[in-house]
Amino acid sequence: QVQLVESGGGLVQAGGSLRLSCAASGRTFSTYAMGWFRQAPGKAREFVAAISWRGAGTLYADSVKGRFTISRDNAKNTLYLQVNSLKPEDTAVYYCALAYSFPSSSLADFGSWGQGTQVTVSS
């Protein structure tokens, strides 16, 4: 079973950038599509972006298109999320997960969640 560990979150001013990483254990990482979700306090977990197993296909939530970029390095068993032009409404815990279907933005199609990394954007 693949285990996922996120990192790279932090406190940043509006307009700033961060690069989130998701390190995966196990040999099957490269065979799965992957995704990022986020959850703000008091709100449901929401889809952010997904990427196909080879990285050729991507899918983004409308709220992050043009600002966030998902990528992966299968040789390093690592998933990335470059987040630019951050807004206070991007403040949330960001989670990575395996995708059992691609393309999909449905929470039910993702699993093996990491513990999350906090992103806080100040205005």
Cβ neighbours around 123 below 10 Å, total: 9
pLDDT band of residue 20 (cuts 50, 70, 90) is: very high
Closest CA to 69 of 54, 84, 55, 57: 84
The mean pLDDT of the chain is: 96
Residue 115 pLDDT exceeds 80: yes
pLDDT value at position 28?
Answer: 84
Render pLDDT for 61-105 as a digit per residue (tens, 0 to 9).
999 999 999 999 999 999 999 999 999 999 999 999 999 999 999
Q: What is the pLDDT of residue 46?
A: 98
- Those residues whose C-beta lies under 8 Å from the C-beta of residue 112, and which sit 6 or more positions away, are 1, 2, 3, 4, 97, 98
Confidence of residue 123 (pLDDT cuts 50, 70, 90): very high
Instruction: Let me know: does 96 contact 72? Beta carbons within 8 Å.
Output: no
Q: Is the pLDDT of residue 38 over 80?
A: yes
Number of CB atoms found within 10 A of residue 20's CB: 24
